[in-house]
């Protein structure tokens, strides 16, 4: 009997928020590595908001997933079989396995993991989300001691890292998160100086009043993960020469509010306050990944940087877990154990 693998495929393109029917579960014979390739048994799969974009058939920074194709994603696993120098059976590696129990990957697209850091950290605090926070803050946020940072989705793997790195740089840090539990997490686990619960405010005005209290000296860096009413709330609070690293607009993934054109007012704020907005896609910056690991790994090992992981069980739970994550159902970095 041939061994089987399981994978989650894109069944159809979602309209707004994805639903379970947009995904399908497929089995196939276990693939074999060719020369220079490695067969990996996935242990952990990373779920990230960017995957929502890959489900669309629009020109974007990376190719869409085809209908019937395996959902894209980073995984951590063990080498089952290797036809590549430098990789041996049993090695723990990370790479773009996709939402699949097994994957064959070229050796050049795999990275061996340190034995003394937890395997899941390679997907979060020491993986793409952590690297995103570190890169965007350094290059486009340019933290200055004594200034104020606001970040939405603040307990997420990017937001929590942004807050902690800004705090280490001497900034006042303000977390925006959904619900009292997440606000407590932001304060107690991630060390934010102040928190704002966006669920407690229906409109941008209410949210703005709460933010103004949390950021009495205004906002110098707004890390944009969210869009929507948070962006609208923050803009009037921005200080002159503020920076806005733009990492995502999760509030708009499911559709747009029916409001009058906000672009003229936005552009006016950008001009009058001489703000800088820079789009950040982490795939442009891999060159700096070794520097990131060198700088941040010791801080994680020493416990100076906290991180949270939510681990769901079983590849078959990935679609529902992903949908729940897009709706804010996770606490920390969302991972699926396979």
3-state secondary structure of 160: helix
Positions in 59-78 near a second copy (CB under 8 A): 60-61
Q: Is 56 in the site for a second copy (CB under 8 A)?
A: no
Shortest CA distance to 221 belongs to which of 252, 196, 246, 202? 246
CB of 58 to a second copy, least distance (A): 9
Q: Which is nearer to a second copy, 275 or 318 (CB)?
A: 275
Burial of 255 (0-12, 13-18, 19+ CB in 10 A): exposed
- Tell me phi and psi for residue 194, to 5 degrees: -150, 155
Name the one range near a second copy by CB under 8 A: 32-40, 165-173, 195-203, 263-271. 263-271
Q: Is 166 in the site for a second copy (CB under 8 A)?
A: no
Q: Which is nearer to a second copy, 15 or 181 (CB)?
A: 15
CB of 44 to a second copy, least distance (A): 27
State which of residues 47, 185, 231, 250 lies at the interface with a second copy (CB under 8 A): 231
Q: What is the distance of C-alpha 261 from the center of its chain?
A: 28
Burial of 274 (0-12, 13-18, 19+ CB in 10 A): exposed
Q: Is 278 in the site for a second copy (CB under 8 A)?
A: yes
Q: Which is nearer to a second copy, 278 or 320 (CB)?
A: 278
Q: Is 19 in the site for a second copy (CB under 8 A)?
A: no
Name the one range near a second copy by CB under 8 A: 72-80, 83-91, 182-190, 256-264. 256-264
Is there a contact between 31 and 10 (Cβ–Cβ < 8 Å)?
Answer: no
Question: Which stretch of DSSP H or E encloses residue 298?
Answer: helix 289-301
Is there a contact between 73 and 65 (Cβ–Cβ < 8 Å)?
Answer: no
CB of 255 to a second copy, least distance (A): 9
Name the one range near a second copy by CB under 8 A: 23-31, 53-61, 173-181, 214-222. 53-61
Count the site residues for a second copy by CB under 8 A: 38
**Which residues lie across from 100 on neighbouring strands?**
7
State which of residues 1, 115, 145, 271 lies at the interface with a second copy (CB under 8 A): 271
What is the rounded distance in angstroms from the CA atom of residue 320 to the CA atom of residue 84? 36
- Tell me phi and psi for residue 88, to 5 degrees: -130, 155
Contacts with a second copy, residue ranges (CB under 8 A): 53, 60-61, 224, 227, 231, 240-241, 246-249, 252, 256-264, 266-268, 270-281, 284
């Amino acid at each position: 009997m041939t061994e089987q693998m399981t994978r989650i495929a894109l069944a159809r393109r979602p309209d707004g928020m994805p639903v379970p029917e947009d995904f399908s579960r497929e089995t196939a014979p276990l693939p074999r590595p060719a020369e220079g390739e490695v067969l990996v048994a996935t242990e952990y799969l990373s779920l990230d908001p960017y995957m929502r974009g890959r489900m669309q058939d629009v020109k974007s920074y990376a190719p869409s997933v085809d209908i019937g194709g395996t959902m894209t994603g980073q995984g951590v696993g063990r080498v089952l079989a290797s036809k590549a120098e430098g990789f041996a059976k049993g090695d723990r590696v990370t790479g773009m396995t996709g939402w699949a129990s097994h994957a064959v990957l070229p050796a050049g697209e795999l990275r061996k993991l340190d034995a003394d850091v937890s395997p899941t950290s390679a997907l979060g605090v020491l993986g793409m989300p952590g690297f995103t926070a570190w890169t965007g803050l350094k290059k486009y946020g340019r933290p200055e001691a004594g200034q104020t940072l606001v970040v939405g989705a603040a307990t997420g793997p990017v937001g929590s890292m942004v807050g902690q790195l800004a705090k280490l740089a001497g900034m006042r840090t303000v977390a925006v998160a959904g619900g009292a539990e997440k606000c407590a997490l932001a304060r107690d686990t991630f060390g934010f100086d102040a928190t704002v619960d966006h669920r407690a405010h229906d409109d941008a005005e209410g949210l703005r009043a709460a933010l103004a209290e949390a950021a009495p000296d205004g906002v110098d860096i707004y890390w944009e993960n969210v869009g929507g009413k948070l962006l609208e709330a923050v803009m009037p609070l921005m200080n002159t020469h503020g920076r806005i690293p733009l990492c995502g607009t999760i509030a708009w993934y499911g559709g747009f509010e029916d409001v009058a054109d906000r672009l003229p007012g936005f552009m006016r704020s950008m001009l009058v306050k001489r703000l800088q907005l820079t789009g950040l896609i982490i795939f442009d910056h891999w060159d700096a990944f070794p520097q990131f690991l060198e700088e941040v790994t010791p801080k994680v090992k020493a416990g100076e940087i906290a991180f949270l992981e939510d681990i769901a069980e079983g590849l078959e739970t990935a679609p529902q877990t992903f949908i729940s994550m897009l709706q804010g159902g996770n606490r920390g970095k969302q991972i699926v154990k396979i």
